[in-house]
Amino acid sequence: MRNGKIRIGIMGLGQIGRHLYHLAREIDDIEIVAVADIGKPEIIQYLLNSDGVDEALLAEWSLSQPDLPARSQRAVNDNARKAWRFVGEMEEDARALADAGLPAGFHEAAADIYQRLAAYKDMATPPAVAEALAELLKRRRG
């Protein structure tokens, strides 16, 4: 304990980890001091952003992973403008898996994510991380 608070770290930000994260943020006597997950930081940030707690995570990461904002921006720089190229491939993979009686959900989701970034295809400069996240969070119907 420091300053009368229980200090915790959360290993894994799947559904349960994110739920624990939300609960811990609501209790004044608990301080989240570390968050670890094997997923890519930009995916974790996206999930927590969609849950509405990304600001707290970014504050923690500024202490534990100060280079993360630059890494996230590099990931957006490297991928947002070419994401459209992978939509067809992901859709084809999903169909092949479904035809073989296997789950196709991952590839269907990847195609949807890549499609959401297609607006950046012809841009001279890549979007900022916050802009790309906002585009990903838009609900699409199709």
Total-model pTM: 0.56
Q: Is the pLDDT of residue 141 over 60?
A: no
CB contact set of 46 (below 8 Å; sequence gap of 6+): 133, 136, 137
Which position has the higher pLDDT, 141 or 73? 73
Same domain as 89, residue 41? no
Q: Is residue 72 part of a domain?
A: no
- 132 with 117: CB under 8 angstroms? yes
Residue 27 domain flag? yes
Segment (H or E) for 35: strand 30-36
Residue 57 shares a structural domain with residue 84: no
Indicate whether 110 belongs to any domain. Answer: yes
Task: Report whether 17 contacts 42 (CB < 8 A).
Answer: no
Q: Residue 101: give the domain boundaries.
A: 80-137
Is the confidence at residue 98, as pLDDT, over 90? yes
72 to each of 31, 40, 106, 130, how far by Cα in Å? Answer: 25, 9, 22, 10
- In a shared domain, residues 102 and 53: no
Instruction: Check residue 97 and give its pLDDT.
Output: 92
Domain count within the chain: 2
Structural tokens at position 52: 């509405």
> Tens digits of per-residue pLDDT, 11-60?
887 777 877 887 887 888 888 888 788 777 777 777 777 766 666 666 77
- Regarding whether 94 and 61 lie in a shared domain, the answer is no
Residue 32 included in any domain: yes
Q: Are residues 99 and 59 in the same domain?
A: no
